[in-house]
Homo-oligomer: A and B are copies of this chain.
Amino acid sequence: MDTTAPIGVFDSGVGGLTVAREIMRQVPNERIVYFGDTARVPYGSKSKDTIIKYSRQIIRFLQTEKVKAIVIACNTATALALNEMQKEFDIPIIGVVQPGVVAATQTTKNGRIGLIGTESTIHSGMYPKLIEEIMPQAQVIGKACPLFCPLVEEGMINDTITTQVAERYLSELKKQQIDTLIMGCTHYPLLQDTIAQVMGEGITLVNPAYETALELKQLLERENLANVCEIDSPSSMYRFYVSDTAEKFKKIASFILPFDITMTQQIAIEQF
């Protein structure tokens, strides 16, 4: 395997850019090919079979870009499709759930862990299952927050309506004596201030993006895949692909990433 090959990173849309950003920080020597499935976003209310099909098409596309490893930067796709994709493809594939689980179990003192995410992620039960394997005595209290993603996409990041929606979604969780809350959707770190304010003091928010980038770094070193060659400027190191047109993607992307995206290419993802 060519160690100068890029890392493939994908998500249903822009949310996975919060993970890509963290990968850029922690393994700055690596090229990235990012795919956002903006023609079929959102994933969070769709079924396992559909998400497996979509993930398979995206990984086939990323393979045409000669990626050396893949990060599923979407909690829904990780929860519903990671296991199947690891069986189907030879290339190393990691998701965002396992890293979030590790971070949460290291953070909690009282073993009571809250989890927020899309309907599909919560419904999958993947987080509680993996947490139980590491910390059998832990209790996981999950809550789906379907409106958080559209609110982020509407740019209502600091907004009284978003605060009220958060209060509605989180009111039950606040009564559960949790000390740790996993932001189990890659959009949610953009609402971190609102979520922290509603939850109040004494609760640590876990953003799986940081731990995911760390796991990727360890994987690349373990498998002798890390790039040791000279690096270029960001514009040549990072490539962005989407399944719908690029206008809206670019706008939100430039808000999440520390540089402006100049080139984004549209792909007919159904053909893969």
Contact = CB atoms under 8 A, between A and B. Distances in A.
Interface of A: 38-40, 45-47, 49-50, 146-147, 150-151, 153-154, 160-161, 164-165, 168, 243-245, 248, 270
Given A146-B153, A150-B146, A161-B165, A39 B46 contact: yes
B154 A244 contact: no
A245 B153 contact: no
B46 A50 contact: no
A39 B154 CA distance: 21
A158 to B, nearest CB: 14
Nearest to A38: B46
Contacts of A150: 146-147, 150
A46 B161 contact: no
A151 B147 contact: yes
A12 to B, nearest CB: 11
A50 B244 contact: yes
A83 B31 CA distance: 43
Contacts of A47: 244-245
A45 B248 contact: yes
A244 B46 CA distance: 7
A84 to B, nearest CB: 16
17 contacts: A38-B46, A39-B40, A39-B46, A47-B245, A49-B245, A50-B243, A50-B244, A50-B245, A146-B153, A146-B154, A147-B150, A147-B151, A147-B154, A160-B164, A161-B164, A161-B168, A164-B164
